[in-house]
Amino acid sequence: MDESGWLPTEAEEPRTAVLRRQIDGGREHFVGVDVGTQLTTVKLTIADAAGLSVGRVTGEIPTESLSVAGELLGLALAAAARADGGTSSARLDGKRRQYPNQGARWTPDEEALLTARFAEGAEIADLRREFGRSANSIRARLVQLGHLSADEWPAGLGARRAA
């Protein structure tokens, strides 16, 4: 295969294009990033199910600042989403398919059963299935009930540490 058509000519600035598309809650989210030697162009568009634009952000940033700008933008948008009430309804619906009790209040009976099952040494996978909740939900409730300290079972671990 002749690659000469894919290489920039001497008059062209070398460029890299990154394109991503995701559907969430019936909306199409599209991000295009065109990385040049000096400047990077970023374009985010959001369209509803009918294809009408409901959001758009475009701009240019210095290519040398991509890492810092990307990290700051991600952190800022995540913080704004949390301040505005957390996750989208579509994401919560997805979590509820996996964990039917996601976000539901714990009942005293569930707390008593969790306490008993934890004392028996039940595995986290079993507890997730039994209670229809995520591992982090199980951990958080055990901490709130005083059965674990927050540093005794860090959120990143998938299994309880041996005593």
Q: Are residues 94 and 80 in the same domain?
A: no
The C-alpha angle with vertex 23 and arms to 15 and 105, in degrees rounded to 5, equals 130
Q: Are residues 105 and 149 in the same domain?
A: yes
Q: Are residues 100 and 73 in the same domain?
A: no
Specify the number of domains making up the chain.
2
Q: Are residues 70 and 20 in the same domain?
A: yes
124 DSSP β-pair partners: none
The two structure tokens encoding residue 5: 């058509």
The two structure tokens encoding residue 57: 């952000």
Q: Are residues 109 and 135 in the same domain?
A: yes
Residue 147 identity (one-letter amino acid) = H
Supply the pLDDT for residue 115: 93
Q: Are residues 37 and 69 in the same domain?
A: yes
Supply the pLDDT for residue 13: 59
Q: Are residues 82 and 106 in the same domain?
A: no
Q: Which of 86, 107, 133 is the last residue of a domain?
A: 86
115-136 tens-digit pLDDT: 999 889 888 788 988 999 888 8
Is residue 6 in some structural domain?
no
Q: Whole-angstrom Cα distance, residue 111 to residue 125?
A: 17
Supply the pLDDT for residue 90: 58
CA 61 to chain centre: 24
Supply the pLDDT for residue 154: 47
Which residue numbers in the chain have pLDDT < 70? 1-14, 83-94, 96, 152-163
Report yes or no on whether pTM surpasses 0.85: no
Q: Are residues 26 and 60 in the same domain?
A: yes
Supply the pLDDT for residue 12: 55
Q: Which of 55, 86, 117 is the last residue of a domain?
A: 86
Is residue 4 in some structural domain?
no
Supply the pLDDT for residue 156: 45
Q: Whole-angstrom Cα distance, residue 19 to residue 81?
A: 23
Supply the pLDDT for residue 2: 47
Is residue 76 in some structural domain?
yes
Q: Which of 86, 110, 133 is the last residue of a domain?
A: 86
| Structural domain of 158 | 89-163
